[in-house]
Structure 1
């Protein structure tokens, strides 16, 4: 029932305030020893619907320039929204200090992890304050479905009309980039008495992240040349590079697990018994896969002897809020290629690990990140939790409201405090991750909101340099081995960039700059069919501040932002020559590839592979007497990089040049990191005729008179931090020695990584 004046009775408030202090530190958990986060309730005033405050940035500002196509009917269900709560400064500082100590080998709290209940009791919102906000929600007619153990999220449901009345905002329909969306038209308001404990509501819009994989290709293997002939091609504007300048008429290359294992040197770990056995990796998804795919993949690529396991399920809370339902897709014609890719290539790197495919239906939740967010959050708050999580989805911070962003960050912080290592794809569209499969249009530099938390590790994309360099025979055999691999060793890497902004391609193919390369391409491609923004993503956060550990390495950006990516692994190749092989329901892998297979790539490949590497590290550290869980990998990765690359200031050590990826195996054999210093992720960007320029982060070099034959004239440019000039300094962004926005710290030698990590942990 709707009320205009809700009061928490004075006697009730007084009783709550008078409750005896509860010592929250658990005597059984050393992580919480000495931590006292006891505090009085922060909701102390009468909750009056007539006295309200606006919560800033709780609607998407990009919609201010878009006219709604109509109002959402009041009767429209709004299911499983999240009231995102705000912890006090005391508890915020306590949590940050604990997480720092959990990653410090000299601290008594090193690797002392907490449970979801311990997290909620010590770092969530007090029970009294939760009672205040849930009582108010109920009084407004909403159904409270449950409170998360972290005591930071309240799951509730209602209607658009109830949202309009309670939060003073109208839900509207919008068309953005030719896609229909629902979103709130303005920032929300709510009773001032609750303002200190509420950030906002996640779930008032349906802008969800996209899977960060390339358009899949169906290809047939040719035994005569050991290559794959593509049978089905993607839409033209997602095809890599100007076709007149690069042609692979003899077919393309399909990488098998063996190749990734060889390039990133995981094979020696298998020999020593480290396969990921006993470690659980969860991939979080919003659609199922055909469960027959995984055993087929394991069989065809010789991974069956390592003892890995697989299960696909819907992670539920206890008591279940009903926010995770089966999304379906467990069939050849309905499965998600993203889910297939994630599950198969975690196994490719950690063949002995337990793989959890955790899926939740987008339709079962209207919160911003839909099923992917729900799957991850339910796992982290569950009774049974994974050691590692990989999330291969993303959208820019510019497409994320403050409540949704806060929910993401608190989720990854909780995972970190519990010891879970989280890896997130940085994105597949260069300096703005919101345009996977399309072209950056009308927006500036951005970073993946799902990855910019300081409590996860962002994984970007690299490419092997051998194709452009013309020396593939140095690194690959001409004939595939019994498990379909051909790699001989590590292969020099460059930034994955499929646009004409690829500086290495420009140098190797026309011996000129990327800008000239793009101008030349415009001559051969006047309609823009090969214009693309496809590239590994990286950029600075506009929300999260720079963590201290990201400041300690050579090349670190001189900014105050959490920057992406942290590391990179193979994602794709210029011209679309190199891919990884998938076994899907519609195209199962047959012996000797006598039937067609699916070829894939993207940072959705990079993230699960790094999750696999982490599983090997976890098992190795546990076998040496350390903790099986490491929490966020990034702080340790940057400490190890500091030893090879040097600090942010001062003279760089000789190992910085020695670990350059261009050295190949010569000189890098003892390195933990392969420092990727060639290429960059500056890609093409456009401005369609009649649109008001919304960004200066694009340097326009020409005009397409009839863009793709569909849209009329368009300006085309390269992403740049300057609209008036384009060079290696302004390109967004160039690879460089040390850390870079293009590739982070670079890729890794997994065997050397484990050895260095052991030393760092004192093992």
Structure 2
């Protein structure tokens, strides 16, 4: 279809007639907010007069191998045109969310609906209609305008994309995988430029689940440990750790409940009853797993429920279809992990496994994004959860501007509606895009799914008992009736499996991490033990630092939204400690007479913190407050300031009293356990022909993994010329840090402090 000279007339008079009125005060949150504005599309939409929208293609494809253009007939379904709200409405939304988290404001915890979000803070109807008309004129099918009035779901073909947006969809080979992406930034008619950010869905790069590959293991009742059935998985540093017969530890829900002081809440009736936790996924799980898990670990008496479904808009756009996998052979371990360990912490909660297929959408975040977005935009209050956990991630450098804007709009909307959102920080140190591999060709970055100021990001810690030699102090030698062994809180360090683990280097061989890594080259000349596996953290290059992140001791002196906010157990050095899953392929049996699967990662940390939030929600409601709390981070930082002190001035004694290293001594009244040992500086490499920034190279591997030729190896660092505690990316430090955020929590004390903050009994 020839579209070069298509003209679409816009009647300004008609548009003015559709101006929104001042927000009605029927909702106290919107009282006094006037976002009335004139339409911003005031000129005739002329396809021959276009403007380029910056950063609407992925810069990484400049270094990828072009493998040819896609066929013009290739369907591109359920793309999302992301709309740009005005400065007036952006400012008004930011002010509202600030007030919703300010106990001194009359709008504190006064949440709004998706429709109210759209009418007050979305794009004006007249402007939306102009964009819809243009899309239709270009041959696209407009499936729906979301209730948030910030995105339009539309479908077409690669050929229509090329003609309308002036960019070519190509095949690119990245890390030996065929991807589809637009070759250049897109263009739109200049008349629409003010109201269009871009299109999410022009590439198929998606965030990945953030867990360590699961291991099948058989329980040895005589040794009370698990033996991995396969040793094929690389276990960095294992040569320096004594694993008798390769026995490893599998934590049960009881252990997590005990370590983070969750179980005392159960005795007061707080189990998450009445709270909905949605885990958002892109693949189903075998629905028999969850009841098996609940039964095996004694969680069945708390009344929790489970359902797996595809969240839809009303009326349905068809953009969320069943991804399949609800069977032992096809299920997603990520989905199993998220559902089971949110229940492990909040056994009385309603668990919604919300899944959407990737295959029906070429949207950047595919099914995970759509599952979360459709829940948040459900106009039926009963269809919206109280808490969302998203255990997926990808670096901002791997994300185009439109997709990043879509994520941030989604989480801001969820926050304004009162939904608490938790996102995993990542599993590869200072760049979350290398889970299961090694940082190369990229520098310091942060999880684009979590750098919004309207969600709470959870990093990964490790129990310190193995390297400290204090296991008998904190764990019983034999498990109890529900397979737990933890006695109390256990000191924590940053989860880091690489030789960059400063605690492992010092405890095992009395060396610095740098010397530990250099020595490792002698025993590992081909780099098979090189890894970047670690809890992630880093600064955003897109989102600015929210005011609440500046108020605590140790806060980075930058202008960026920094990750993570908090941490919980994510994994262990040497692959010694895991959590136990009950899967379809390896269901749990009494006393573990058959093999089970063990797993780790910040995909564990996020749903566990979502479970803690469910307990807080129920506790606040029981005390007479509102059930929904919105983004947890502003409150968490306020509470942490009370314990750690502010960014300047003298620090309270609780800064040292609440150091995780103290274990149970003196920390009984602490809300946070400040993790100050270790860090997430991991190994990084530079292959021939590429450049890896933010890496201090300490040696060269003659033939990396006997396949890649000479390769430089280093440690992630803010300096390429020196490596020490000041330049490592990143060390654990007192107060807040890039390694572990505010640290982990005592859930019982957190609830008490949360209620006090809200002036509740």
Shared fold by TM > 0.5?
yes
Q: Paired residue for 1:255? A: 251
Residues 1:231 and 2:221 are matched in the alignment: no
CA contact under 8 A between 1:244 and 1:524: conserved in structure 2? no
Aligned counterparts of 1:682 and 1:631: Cα–Cα separation in 2: 32
Aligned counterparts of 2:601 and 2:246: Cα–Cα separation in 1: 23
Q: Quick one: which of 69, 72, 84 aligns to 1:71? A: 69
CA contact under 8 A between 1:555 and 1:736: conserved in structure 2? yes
CA contact under 8 A between 2:8 and 2:46: conserved in structure 1? no
Once the two structures are superposed, residues 162-206 of structure 1 have per-residue CA deviations (whole angstroms, 9 ceiling, x without a partner) of: 101100001111111222110001000010000000000000001
CA contact under 8 A between 2:20 and 2:37: conserved in structure 1? no
Q: Paired residue for 2:334? A: 338
Residues 1:507 and 2:503 are matched in the alignment: no
Once the two structures are superposed, residues 358-396 of structure 1 have per-residue CA deviations (whole angstroms, 9 ceiling, x without a partner) of: 000000111000000000000000121000000000000
CA contact under 8 A between 1:462 and 1:570: conserved in structure 2? yes
Q: Quick one: which of 106, 109, 119 aligns to 1:108? A: 106
Q: Quote the offset at 1:316 in angstroms.
A: 0.5
Any residues of structure 2 matched to 1:297-336 within 5 Å, and which? 297-336=293-332
Q: Paired residue for 1:760? A: 757
Once the two structures are superposed, residues 490-525 of structure 1 have per-residue CA deviations (whole angstroms, 9 ceiling, x without a partner) of: 000000000000000001001110001111111111
SS where residue 518 of structure 2 aligns?
helix
Q: Paired residue for 1:203? A: 201
Aligned counterparts of 2:161 and 2:244: Cα–Cα separation in 1: 55
Q: Quote the offset at 1:355 in angstroms.
A: 0.1
SS where residue 64 of structure 1 aligns?
helix
Q: Quick one: which of 733, 736, 739 aligns to 2:733? A: 736
SS where residue 686 of structure 1 aligns?
strand
Q: Quick one: which of 734, 737, 751 aligns to 2:748? A: 751
Aligned counterparts of 2:179 and 2:700: Cα–Cα separation in 1: 31
Q: State the TM-score, normalizing by the size of structure 2.
A: 0.98
Residues 1:606 and 2:602 are matched in the alignment: no
SS where residue 108 of structure 1 aligns?
coil
CA contact under 8 A between 1:409 and 1:453: conserved in structure 2? yes
SS where residue 81 of structure 2 aligns?
strand
Aligned counterparts of 1:93 and 1:483: Cα–Cα separation in 2: 51
Aligned counterparts of 1:103 and 1:189: Cα–Cα separation in 2: 38
Q: Quote the offset at 1:246 in angstroms.
A: 4.8
SS where residue 434 of structure 1 aligns?
helix
Aligned counterparts of 1:171 and 1:64: Cα–Cα separation in 2: 14
SS where residue 512 of structure 1 aligns?
coil
Once the two structures are superposed, residues 269-316 of structure 1 have per-residue CA deviations (whole angstroms, 9 ceiling, x without a partner) of: 000000000000000000000000000000000000000000000000
Q: Paired residue for 1:157? A: 155
Query: Which 4+ stretches in 1 moved above 6 angstroms?
Result: none
Aligned counterparts of 1:213 and 1:66: Cα–Cα separation in 2: 26
Any residues of structure 2 matched to 1:646-685 within 5 Å, and which? 646-685=645-684
Residues 1:705 and 2:702 are matched in the alignment: yes
Residues 1:38 and 2:36 are matched in the alignment: yes
CA contact under 8 A between 1:242 and 1:500: conserved in structure 2? no
Q: Paired residue for 1:717? A: 714
Q: Paired residue for 2:428? A: 429
Q: Quote the offset at 1:65 in angstroms.
A: 2.5
Q: Paired residue for 1:579? A: 578
Q: Paired residue for 1:628? A: 627
CA contact under 8 A between 1:242 and 1:521: conserved in structure 2? no
Once the two structures are superposed, residues 610-636 of structure 1 have per-residue CA deviations (whole angstroms, 9 ceiling, x without a partner) of: 000000000000000001000000000
Q: Quote the offset at 1:234 in angstroms.
A: 4.7
Q: Paired residue for 2:90? A: 92
Q: Quote the offset at 1:235 in angstroms.
A: 3.9
Aligned counterparts of 1:22 and 1:423: Cα–Cα separation in 2: 34
CA gap of 1:441–1:399, structure 2 versus 1, over 3 A, is same
Aligned length: 757
Q: Quote the offset at 1:706 in angstroms.
A: 1.7
Aligned counterparts of 2:320 and 2:362: Cα–Cα separation in 1: 11
Unaligned runs of 5+ in 2: none
Aligned counterparts of 2:186 and 2:15: Cα–Cα separation in 1: 28
Aligned counterparts of 1:726 and 1:248: Cα–Cα separation in 2: 34
Q: Quick one: which of 265, 268, 271 aligns to 2:264? A: 268
Once the two structures are superposed, residues 391-447 of structure 1 have per-residue CA deviations (whole angstroms, 9 ceiling, x without a partner) of: 000000000000000000000000000000000000000000000000000110000
Once the two structures are superposed, residues 646-671 of structure 1 have per-residue CA deviations (whole angstroms, 9 ceiling, x without a partner) of: 00111111100000000001111100
CA gap of 1:262–1:245, structure 2 versus 1, over 3 A, is closer
Once the two structures are superposed, residues 573-627 of structure 1 have per-residue CA deviations (whole angstroms, 9 ceiling, x without a partner) of: 0000000000000000000000000000100000000000000000000000001
Aligned counterparts of 1:218 and 1:253: Cα–Cα separation in 2: 13
Q: Paired residue for 1:9? A: 9
CA contact under 8 A between 1:394 and 1:425: conserved in structure 2? yes
Q: Paired residue for 2:636? A: 637
CA RMSD, 1 decimal: 1.0
Q: State the TM-score, normalizing by the size of structure 1.
A: 0.98
CA contact under 8 A between 2:8 and 2:134: conserved in structure 1? no
CA contact under 8 A between 1:248 and 1:577: conserved in structure 2? no
Once the two structures are superposed, residues 27-86 of structure 1 have per-residue CA deviations (whole angstroms, 9 ceiling, x without a partner) of: 321001111111111100010000000000000111122241111111111111000000
Aligned counterparts of 1:25 and 1:543: Cα–Cα separation in 2: 30
CA gap of 1:105–1:248, structure 2 versus 1, over 3 A, is farther
Once the two structures are superposed, residues 433-484 of structure 1 have per-residue CA deviations (whole angstroms, 9 ceiling, x without a partner) of: 0000000001100000000000000000000000000110000000000000
Any residues of structure 2 matched to 1:552-591 within 5 Å, and which? 552-591=551-590
CA contact under 8 A between 1:79 and 1:157: conserved in structure 2? yes
Aligned counterparts of 1:496 and 1:226: Cα–Cα separation in 2: 24
Q: Paired residue for 2:53? A: 55
Q: Paired residue for 2:276? A: 280
